[in-house]
Structure 1
């Protein structure tokens, strides 16, 4: 995604219509409203004023397996949606999760209160990075894109301070209360262990898309860190390659 105008495409259902599982859940929870469509055809719906349904076609569906597991690892340790149900068939997988309080940090309210939103994003990232790394099982810690070492990007910066990384730290995945406080995170399918700059590089870049250019230094100040150009370059390139 390279332009704010591109966001419109991610609020369009596409040619395939509403999945059957969503239609069935409407009877219980209320009318489904499309929230997001990702580049791989995955759909997120809000059901009435209740839960969210994430639906992902195969072969992209394994990302939902990882997200389901991450919600379990973080339950009671970090504010993430509670998993209500999940399922799969030959064509797709889905997750049903309870809503968290607050709203995405890039809604209309936060375009007018950008400094508060950016501060909340920084608080949330510090909270993720403060989790003990063993919250992610050791055999799963390297599954995030942030831990991969593809060829062609040059040497990976040395990892001297491993932390839990969100893995998709774009600004919309931070939830903010009406008072401007960070209240939780969503979209955790790439949770892992790695360099905090994997999150910071992506989060700061996403501010350009959502708020316009010029806000990246504010995020680094709010987080309490000096920009590291080498790591920012590396992890943005890796994210573009792996996402």
Structure 2
């Protein structure tokens, strides 16, 4: 089974779902992101260009259980003003798909050309932003989990459907499915529980124009887990978006030394689940 394409800015025509068109009203609708599962994000902006009223509409087609937009709306509401995240304005679903609409927050995605041209600055800011999120959110009162046990169960389901090395990242393609699965049983001891972002890849961090962390988006998997579940993948994703050599900047921005054992484990878990 082949891995879905990585998420990216759409480069061709995009059909705007009817629900998004209705939510936009008289606003301009601009597609800004497409994920590998068919989900789309649109910027809804008044035709007069008054950016203070800009909104974003995320939409996923019906039958996409991997993306729970209602759950994301709940998580964003729980985070509230503890950390900079989008404010939910609307959420719903119909026979074609589901959506949430959020108020635009200051900042630009760390995959915009400005930051692809200055990846060292962006990678440090990604680490700092992740540390700020982890420090801000209270583990004891968080109602959401990103537990390894649940993620391993997802991995088992995917393996049962036929996922295997040809659909994994190159780092893991020399493993058989059985070898990879057996490694998931060797869970490192928890180093430090935090409320994890759950998808702390480069595109989900917004930066100010001066290179400072601005906000996080796409928190549909937010929940309690070891901080290395976020850190390992945040640093790994710099390779996908910027090229090799910038993972250390993420750890430096976070203020932590790399932990090879936990990094290897949580990257494999990400790949399989």
Band of TM-score, shorter chain: 0.7 to 0.9
1:196 lines up with 2:194 in the alignment:
no
Match for residue 190 of structure 2?
159
- From 23, 34, 43, the equivalent of 1:25 is 23
Structure 1 SS opposite 2:31: strand
Distance in 1, matches of 2:87 and 2:68, equals 17
Cα pair 1:73 1:135 within 8 Å, conserved: no
Distance in 2, matches of 1:228 and 1:13, equals 41
Q: What is the TM-score normalised by the length of structure 2?
A: 0.78
Aligned residues between the structures: 233
1:219 lines up with 2:217 in the alignment:
no
Match for residue 11 of structure 1?
10
Distance in 1, matches of 2:270 and 2:125, equals 23
1:148 lines up with 2:146 in the alignment:
no
Distance in 2, matches of 1:122 and 1:90, equals 39
Q: Which moved more, 1:82-91 or 1:180-189?
A: 82-91
Highest RCO, 1 vs 2 (Cα 8 Å, sep ≥ 6): 2
Match for residue 3 of structure 1?
none
1:63 lines up with 2:62 in the alignment:
no
Question: Aligned Cα RMSD in Å?
Answer: 2.3
Match for residue 140 of structure 2?
134
Structure 2 SS opposite 1:141: coil
Post-superposition offset of 1:10: 5.0
- From 69, 85, 89, the equivalent of 2:90 is 85
Q: What is the TM-score normalised by the length of structure 1?
A: 0.87
Structure 1: 5+ residue stretches without partners: 1-5
Cα pair 1:166 1:192 within 8 Å, conserved: yes
Distance in 1, matches of 2:7 and 2:81, equals 35
Match for residue 54 of structure 1?
58
Post-superposition offset of 1:135: 4.5
Distance in 1, matches of 2:148 and 2:187, equals 13
- From 114, 130, 147, the equivalent of 2:119 is 114
Distance in 2, matches of 1:154 and 1:8, equals 29
Cα pair 1:175 1:183 within 8 Å, conserved: yes
Match for residue 176 of structure 2?
none
Post-superposition offset of 1:13: 6.3
Match for residue 216 of structure 2?
185
Distance in 2, matches of 1:115 and 1:86, equals 36
Post-superposition offset of 1:14: 7.2
Which structure would you say has the larger Rg?
2
Structure 2: 5+ residue stretches without partners: 46-50, 157-180
Distance in 1, matches of 2:92 and 2:237, equals 31
Give the direction of change, closer, same or farther, for the CA distance of 1:146–1:136 in structure 2 (3 Å limit). Answer: farther
